Amino acid sequence: MGLFRLITRGIEKSTKASARGKAGENLVELIIKRQLSTKTDRRYIGNLILVDSNSGKSHQIDHVLIRENGIFCIETKNLTGLIFGTGDSDFWVQMISMSEKHEFFNPLKQNQTHCYQISEMLGRKYFVNSLIVMVQNNSEKIRHPNVINVVDLAKYIKNFNSGITLSQEEMDEIYDKLQSVASDMTINEHVQNTKETRQERETKICPDCGGTLAIMKGRYDMFFGCPECSFTQKFVD
């Protein structure tokens, strides 16, 4: 009975987390679409799944926003409590209470992979801006320019200025290309693909491009890196 309850609680917790994540994505999508309603020269793609042609690995991207001021690859995080992390750390920490803490993979690194995939699909012609949106407005412990609260999202994308202005023809090209390469893979199939990717990381195969990971030396420690792309993984001796 104890084991059954433990399994049931685990399923319930996973289901609630999934529902909370989806609710966060829906809120961000609503805010984005409000920005789109007054302009015809902006494009949006939600829940975009791309499959790397080299490695066969899938990447699920919450939101892609194409505006005159750039391409935005947006990852949504709907996590309660205090969130601690840096741009370089492999994992961030969610602290719900002094006795309850959880680690999760650094979304900045996760989204860096997504940006890379989008850029590759576009023939590396355009820079893709990475953005992490915290739905619970708890980004204060992160202090990274690419991590913002959901209350600041509309203002951020409206005022963003990287010195780049896309024409309507360019935005059409980007939107049409991403739609044409979007996979019809289901979420369940993507989840299974992700599990296989984790196994390949253990065999030192790059999950992004299929290359061979090499041991590299950083300023402070060792790590696995792919010579062919920007993927890195923490090294454990």
131 and 230 housed in the same domain = no
Q: How would DSSP label each residue in 113-157? A: HHHHHHHHHTTT-S-EEEEEEETTS--TTT--TTEEEGGGHHHHH
91 within domain boundaries: yes
226 and 165 housed in the same domain = no
> Can you tell me the distance from the alpha carbon of 46 to that of 23, in angstroms, rounded to the nearest whole number?
13
Residue 64: both structure tokens together: 């892609």
Q: How far is CA 98 from CA 51, 136, 142, in A?
A: 40, 19, 19
- For residue 3, the model assigns a pLDDT of 40
118 within domain boundaries: yes
- For residue 54, the model assigns a pLDDT of 78
Q: What is the pLDDT of residues 34-51, one digit of tens each?
A: 877 666 668 999 999 999
Q: 52 versus 170: which is more confidently predicted?
A: 170
Please tell me the total count of domains within the chain. 2
CA angle (164 as vertex; 160, 166 as ends), nearest 5 = 100
> Can you tell me the distance from the alpha carbon of 44 to that of 118, in angstroms, rounded to the nearest whole number?
14
159 and 235 housed in the same domain = no
Helices (H) and strands (E) in the chain, counts: 5, 11
Task: Identify any residues that bridge with 101 across adjacent strands, giving them in sequence order.
Answer: 95
Q: What is the pLDDT of residues 54-94, one digit of tens each?
A: 778 889 999 999 999 999 999 999 999 999 999 998 899 99
Amino acid (1-letter code) at residue 86: T
For 44, the domain range is 10-202
236 and 186 housed in the same domain = no
Q: What is the pLDDT of residues 107-144, one digit of tens each?
A: 999 999 999 999 999 999 999 999 999 999 999 999 89
Residue 236's pLDDT band, with cuts at 50, 70 and 90, is: very low
130 and 178 housed in the same domain = yes
**pTM confidence score:** 0.76
4 within domain boundaries: no
| Beta strands 70-77; 128-134: pairing state | parallel
